[in-house]
Structure formats: C-alpha cells, structure tokens
Amino acid sequence: MTNQAHSLKFADVGQDVIIWPLAKIVSPEGISIGDSVIIDDFVFIMGGSKTVIGSFVHIASFTSIIGGGEFTIEDFAGLSGGVRIYTGNEDYLGGSLTNPAVPHPYRIPIRSFVHIKKHAIIGANTVILPGVTIGEGAAIGANSLVTKDCKPWTIYVDSPSRPLRPRPQDRILELEAQLHRELYDKKGNYIPKSQREDDYAD
C-alpha cells in the first residue's frame, strides 16, 4: 500500500494518518488533518477555501466533499460510504450561467460551508447541502438529505431529514475520556502507535 499522507503537501498532517492510494485529493495545501485518520480508496476531496479534518476520523469509499467552500469535520466523527457533501453550489435561480465549464463573470458560484461536529455519524449515501452544521453526537441515517442544521445527540432520518429520537451521549463521552487517558501524554500530545505500550499498539 502506498500511503499518501506524507507525499501530498497538506497544510498540516498528524500522526498515524492513512490515505489510501486511490483517494483523490485536490488542493491539499488548504487541508489540515489531525491524528489517527483513515481516508479510503475512491474518496474525492476538494480542498476548497479551507478544509479541517479532526482526529480519529474515518472517511469511507465513494464519499465526495466538493463545492469550494469551507469544510470541517471534528474528532471522532465519520462519513460512511457514498456520502456527498457540498460546501458550495450553483445559482439555480437564474442569476448566472452554471457549471464549472463556464468562466467568470458568466458563472457566479455560491460558496458556503459544512461543519460536522464531534462524534457525529453520517450514514451511507447521505447528501449534505451547503450551510449546514451537524451537531455534536448527531447520527444521520442512510440515504438522508440534510438541508438544515441538525441538533446535537439526535438521530435523523429521511429525505429531507427529520429528527427521530435522542442519541445517548454519556457512554460515548466516557469512552472518549478513557481513550484520551490512554493515547495522550500528560501534556495532551497524541502518542503514535509506534511509541505506545504493547497493550495499546493496535
């Protein structure tokens, strides 16, 4: 396996990051990546104006992050296979021509953002449109269409997405605290796999 994590010119990249060889990363200089991140083959990421990927994040195959705006995914969040995230869009109201083959000023794309907070889970084949914040611990069911902000620690389903029921948070936050005690030193620095005790090597 050829790991792209340290061959691409990212703005910043942490330790124990795996980017599989068939992932396509455009404009890596605008992308910051934390520690212990896995980006699968066949993922497509456009760096846009700014992209921040936290620690302990997994982005599964056939996911795309496009649109040219800002994208943030915080620690312990994950994108399942086939997720589509749009941080920008075309002017569908007819104020300009559309699609990237049309030059400025005839095309005026709308740049925005998508922010996915800690512990959020995005189910397979979900579509997230620009200007959305997914709250901490929210879970989005497969095949959902997210057009509005999602509340923390809430399960959403359907197209367009709607809240289904609360998601328990106590156990998840307890496990996060335990992980930090084991995988970070007293100064709060991540301990890479190669430097850990045998009990925590994997």
Q: Is the pLDDT of residue 152 over 50?
A: yes
Q: Which domain range does residue 191 map to?
A: 4-200
Please report which confidence band the pLDDT of residue 1 belongs to, taking 50, 70 and 90 as the band edges.
confident
Q: Which residues pair with 44 in a beta bridge?
A: 24, 64
- The total domain count for the chain is 1
The CATH number for 72's domain is 2.160.10.10
Question: Residue 199, class by beta-carbon neighbours within 10 Å (0-12 exposed, 13-18 middle, 19+ buried)?
Answer: exposed
The letter for the amino acid at 80 is S
How many other CB atoms are found less than 10 A from the CB of residue 176?
A: 15
Please report which confidence band the pLDDT of residue 197 belongs to, taking 50, 70 and 90 as the band edges.
low
The mean pLDDT value for 175-184 works out to 95
Q: Provide the pLDDT for residue 198.
A: 56
Q: Is the pLDDT of residue 199 over 70?
A: no
109 preceded by a cis bond (ω within 30 of 0) = no
Q: Provide the pLDDT for residue 200.
A: 47
The mean pLDDT value for 186-201 works out to 80
What count of Cα atoms within 13 Å lies in the side-chain half-sphere of residue 167?
A: 23
Q: Is the pLDDT of residue 105 over 70?
A: yes
- CA-to-CA distance for 130 and 126, rounded, in angstroms? 13
pLDDT averaged over every residue in the chain: 94
Angle (CA) 7 81 150, round 5°: 105
Q: Provide the pLDDT for residue 201.
A: 44
Whole-number percent of the chain with pLDDT over 70: 97
Please report which confidence band the pLDDT of residue 91 belongs to, taking 50, 70 and 90 as the band edges.
confident
Q: Are 196 and 184 in contact (CB under 8 A)?
A: no
Whole-number percent of the chain with pLDDT over 90: 89
